[in-house]
Each structure stands twice: as structure tokens, then as C-alpha cells.
Structure 1
Amino acid sequence: MEIEAAKTLIDNAITEMEKVIVGKRTTLQLTVTALLANGHALFEDVPGVGKTTLAKTMATTFAGTYNRVQFTPDLLPSDIIGVSIFDRQKNQFEFKPGPIFATFLLADEINRATPRTQSALLEAMAENRVTLDGATHYLDDSFFVLATQNPTDYEGTYPLPEAQMDRFIMRLSIGYPNFDDELKLLTQRQSEPNLEIQQVVSHDQLIDLKQTVQSVHIDPVLLRYILDLATATRQHPSVRLGISPRGSLALAAASRAFALTNGRDYVIAADIQALIQPVFGHRIILNASNASVRDQILSDIVKSIPVPIRGE
């Protein structure tokens, strides 16, 4: 797909989603970036800011099926993946797929479930497939998890294991709208209570967009820049566990997708810098668990690493 055509298609999709997610174009762009980079997005937010609406809206805009799973302490892995049921007539087990078999899966309040249930998503998110009773079942080519989690100081939450956190290419937040945007939302809902979102991107077009991302060029100098940033997290005195190679790969992949959403077939340093917080922020483990300190550490690292100049 031509870059200009891809940019127009992405812009149209984001504009369509803005009909119901008002005033959050940057967040929508980053969420689409995660989708195009073949990743998954984790939202940590207060209730009622539109996370469920965002997942439903993406499923409609990008012509995908949508399922929602409410994670609770008694949720079992089979409630997500599915079960094998013995068919007496056929004298064999038959697989009954669970809600994970959709294009867009909303894993709502994922950290309210036990680690055993959380881990049921690991294989699916990493390899687009699930294994049950020795049989492998493949998911949609564009399988995308949009998970939400409550702040970890809320009661009844289980911290996501590091391996699970690492499967999310980005951690994002919608946040409260500003006054004017919320007033626009209230006015809109009063005048158009049954507003319908239209499909903008077909399944085949989504596949084409993902393939176009692969053709976006990232200069070797910028790859070294990404590695410099990752290495700096591993050497920082306040960081107990720095960015893994998977995290470096995630930043490179997200940078390509982000460049495409900005209408370019090449990555620039500003793309990488714009993504450092959402891609790296949830992957580093500090000696102290203060989120604001984490953000400051990443900001300091970005300032300390010189932006490369081509040819150096």
C-alpha cells in the first residue's frame, strides 16, 4: 500500500473513532500504532473514561469481531480459552472456543484475576495461538488484546507478572477529558444518543497496513540509538531490571508503525522519543516502585543519550 493511501486510511479510522472518544487523538494514534505493530495495549486508568468504548469502537472501525472478558478472582483459564467437551455421538472430544477467539479482545481489569488465569493469555499474545489438550488452535491474524488494569494499590488486585507485562507493546492511559471536550461529548450524546460507528478499514486493508509497516525504513544509526536507550536502563542505579531485547524490538516495531501513522516511510528520532514512555515505562523494574520516579528516569535517559546524526 502506498504511504499516502495508508496515511489517509489511518487518519479516517482515527477520525471515526473520535466520534465517541472525544479529545484523545494522541491516545487513539498510539493505540492504532500498537495494533499495526502487531502488539497489544495495556490501559491503566480510572473507571468510566471510555476504555470499553474504545475497544468496541476499534472493532467496528477495523472490521473485526469483538469479545469482552471481565477478569475476576474466580475466573479460570478455560473461561478465556475454551474447553474440550466429549461428544458421545462422535465418540471424540470437540473443542468449544472461548471468547479469546475474536479479532479484538477486551481483557477488563486483568489484574483482578489470579496469575494462573492471567498467564492463559501469554501464548495467545505472543504467538496468535492457544494449545489445549495437545491441540493447537490459531487465532485471527490481527488478534489484538486491549487490557485494562486497576492501579495496584486498589484492593483485590494481583500485580501482573513481568512476563505478562512484557507482552504488551505499550501501556497507555486515556485520562479525563478536558472541560470543553467533555461538554462536547455531553452535547453530542444528547443530540445523537444512538450514534453509530462505521467500518473504515476492512480486514484485508488492515493486513495491508501491517505489511506496509514492515517496509518502513529505520536507519541503522537509529537502531543503535534504541539500543543505547535500552542499555542505559540496564545501567541506571535506580533500575533493578532494565529493558530486555524484547523491549528493544518492541520500540523498533512501534517506531515503524508510528512513523506510518504520521505519513512517513522512514523513522526519525522524534518517533522513538515519543514512544519511550509507553513502550519502556512498564518494562523497567525499579528499586522503588514510584511511577513518577520511573517516568523521570526515562526522561533523564532520553536527555542523556545524544540524538544520532546520520553518518556518525
Structure 2
Amino acid sequence: MSTSLAGQLPSLLAEVSGMSAPREVLHGLITSVVSGTHLVVDAPHADSPALTALRNLVRTLVPTPLGALATTTLSQATTPASLLDSLLVSHGKDAGEVPPDVAAPASLPVVTSGLQLPASSSPGTGGKASALSSAPTSPAGGYFPPLMATDELRRVAPVWMVVGLDMTHKSVQRALLKTLSYGRFSLGGTVYTLPANFVMVAVCTGADAGHVTSPLRDYFLTRVSLGASARIECPYPSAKARSFPYTAGDLVEMRMELARVYLHPDVLAYMKALVYALRQDPCVAEGITARAVPALSMAARVSALLKDRLFVTPADIQIVIGPVLAHRISLTSWSSSDATVLDLLEDHVSAIDPPV
């Protein structure tokens, strides 16, 4: 029997009344919520009911009041300002839907690459928020005006589901990239800071995520696919009938457990060997950046935790390497016309012996 809450999580979610989802999508969402990272969902065939069910599934995974969910649908007409405005929710939104037993703590531990940082650190700055927030700013800097008080009536939603990111103009994607990189943005003369462990679920409704710029794709931990025949069922009942598989306090516990998952030096060396081999492969045009190893490490730790283990095995890396790296990699003309990124990853995994 599982001793950790994370180990029990998949079965707990399966017991939520009326909810069902493909295993790949469910585990991708769990990985993002537990690690406080971002997820791409390819859903080119998803209809409106499927997207509504996916949104409800995200709500179910993040206990209120942490689960103040902002949702928006983007198009080619979306501007950078309207994109950033869609990140904001009013204070007290969803307040009538908060069960009395899921009160959130003042802050959550920030988990990054298995290390726990102060909750004040911004996820977009790699734990260096203090230097950024204390540095003088100037309108001449080109992005942030002088710091002003945060809007008391609106705040950044801790969870954001955006549909159609691959359909937007590159200027919109650049604005989002800057926001994720700096961990904050300016709108209407006010500076808003992304909350710790901010989670973004980007749903790509085109053929794939290829129309999302490569630097932006690099900010998403994993990518999953909602196939044409896959179905998601997750009704959103009334506030009184709504039940959560875990509380906000449980989420804190899972994130603290994640920080304690051990990565043996031999397993880390195996992971780096895979990344190095991919970087040297003439078929790989781009995508294997400095974020590749930390991303693999984070996803492998979550994989171990969901199997009720506090240590990573080579099998965990082999499971997550596809979802973590496939959306980052672009192939060159040297690759076979019928070859895919997943085929390339499988070849490298087969060629490199894991540690015993």
C-alpha cells in the first residue's frame, strides 16, 4: 500500500465521481500541479465539451482557494495586453465554491529541480527574485515601468488555462516568454508578480505545438496529446456537492516530498549522457538547451513519487524523456523523412546503457 499521498494520488483521482481522462493527460496534469510547472496539451480534435471537461479536470486537481482558475481562448487577433489581462482574476473569485476544509496556507514551498527555495522566489527567475525586485527599474529599460503598488482588487491567477496558444502572433508569444522569464509583468501602470509555483496549461488546437516559438516551448515541462478518440469526462457540480481528492495542505506535503526525492549521481550521469548524445546528433536542429537536464530531473522525480518511491531510477527517466523533450526538439534535413522525434529519442535510449 502507498505510504505517501502522491503515491495514492492517481487512485484517489480515479475515485472522484464522474471523472475519467486518458492516463497520459492525467499524469501530465498531476506532474504540473505537484511540481508547479507548465504543460502543453495537443488537442487538435477537441470539441467544446472536451475543453470544458479538461478545464474542470484542472479545477479538480488544484484545491481551492489555490484553484482560482483563469481561462482564455486566443486567436490571431489577440494582443499582448489582452493576453496579460486574461491572467488576472478578481479577489474572492470562486469564493463561494471553497469548501471549509481546504483553506490554503499563506505560501507554498517552491520546488525547482528537486530543491526547495523560499516561497518569495519567483519561478521565472530561478530563485533570484530578491535581486530582481530590489533592482531599480526605468521606463527606458523597455519592459517594466517604475515599480508601483500591486492592484488590490486583481491578482494573477495561480492556475491559467490558455487555449490556442499556437494560433497567436509571435509578438503575443514573446510577451508571454518575457513574463515567464522575469516572473512578473506590467499592465496599466501596475506591476503584477506571478505566484509561486504558477501553473499554465496551454492547449494547442492546431496540428501540433510547432507554431509555438522554440524559446517558449522550452518553458513547458511536459507535453501530452489528447487524441481524436480520447474522451475526458469531468462534470463540475455545485459548490456543496464538489469534492476534492486532496486539500491545499496535502499539496504542500507532496511538494515537500518531491524536494526529498533522491537522484543518485550514476542516474544523473545517465541522464546527462542522453542529453549530450541528443545535442551532438546531426538530426537535431535545436531544442536541447540548458533547461533539458533540470526538466528531466523534475519530471523523473515526480514519476518516482507517483510510484511511492523517494529515489529516481533509470526507468523513470526512460518514461518521461518523451513527454519532456519531444516538444522542444526540431529535426534537421539530415533526418529521415518518415522519422519522428520520438523515434530519435527511442534510438538514443536503446543505445546508452543505464546504470545497474
Q: Distance in 2 between matches of 1:95 and 1:261?
A: 37
The match for 1:297 is: 344
The match for 1:245 is: 290
Residues 103-134 of structure 1, C-alpha deviation per residue, up to 9 Å, x if partnerless? 22111011111111122322444454334477
SS at 1:245's partner residue? Answer: coil
More deviation, 98-107/166-175: 98-107
The structure in which a higher percent of residues are helix is 1
The structural deviation recorded for 1:98 is: 11
More deviation, 112-121/169-178: 169-178
Query: Does 2:306 align with 1:261?
Result: yes
1:25 partner amino acid:
R
Q: Distance in 1 between matches of 2:344 and 2:74?
A: 32
Q: Normalising by the residue count of structure 2, what TM-score does the alignment of the two structures yield?
A: 0.70
Asked whether the equivalents of residues 61 and 198 of structure 1 are also in contact (C-alpha less than 8 Å), the reply is no
The match for 1:34 is: 32
Superposed CA RMSD: 3.3
Q: Distance in 1 between matches of 2:215 and 2:303?
A: 24
SS at 1:79's partner residue? Answer: helix
The match for 2:275 is: 230
The structural deviation recorded for 1:135 is: 5.4
Q: Distance in 2 between matches of 1:222 and 1:116?
A: 40
Residue 118 and residue 172 in structure 1: after superposition, are their counterparts in 2 closer, same or farther (change >3 A)?
Answer: same
SS at 2:156's partner residue? Answer: coil
Q: How many residue pairs are counted as aligned between the two chains?
A: 285
Q: Distance in 2 between matches of 1:128 and 1:220?
A: 31
Query: Does 2:250 align with 1:205?
Result: yes
SS at 1:172's partner residue? Answer: strand
Q: Distance in 1 between matches of 2:73 and 2:215?
A: 21
1:305 partner amino acid:
I
1:113 partner amino acid:
T
Asked whether the equivalents of residues 60 and 244 of structure 2 are also in contact (C-alpha less than 8 Å), the reply is yes
Q: How does 1:74-89 map to 2 (within 5 A)?
A: 74-82=77-85
The match for 1:114 is: 169
Asked whether the equivalents of residues 142 and 207 of structure 1 are also in contact (C-alpha less than 8 Å), the reply is no
Residue 211 and residue 55 in structure 1: after superposition, are their counterparts in 2 closer, same or farther (change >3 A)?
Answer: farther
The match for 2:355 is: 308
Residue 119 and residue 296 in structure 1: after superposition, are their counterparts in 2 closer, same or farther (change >3 A)?
Answer: same
The structural deviation recorded for 1:158 is: 8.2
Query: Does 2:221 align with 1:169?
Result: yes
Q: How does 1:127-138 map to 2 (within 5 A)?
A: 128-132=183-187, 136-138=191-193
2:56 partner amino acid:
K
SS at 1:282's partner residue? Answer: coil
Residue 134 and residue 270 in structure 1: after superposition, are their counterparts in 2 closer, same or farther (change >3 A)?
Answer: farther
Percent of pairs with identical residues: 23
Asked whether the equivalents of residues 21 and 54 of structure 1 are also in contact (C-alpha less than 8 Å), the reply is no
Q: Normalising by the residue count of structure 1, what TM-score does the alignment of the two structures yield?
A: 0.79
The structural deviation recorded for 1:292 is: 4.9
Q: Which has the higher contact order (CA 8 A, sep 6+)?
A: 2
Q: Distance in 2 between matches of 1:254 and 1:174?
A: 19
Q: Runs of 4+ in structure 1 displaced over 4 angstroms?
A: 93-100, 132-135, 192-197, 288-292
The match for 1:10 is: 9
1:169 partner amino acid:
L
Residue 109 and residue 103 in structure 1: after superposition, are their counterparts in 2 closer, same or farther (change >3 A)?
Answer: same
For structure 1, which runs of at least 5 residues remain unmatched after alignment? 84-92
Q: Distance in 2 between matches of 1:232 and 1:158?
A: 23
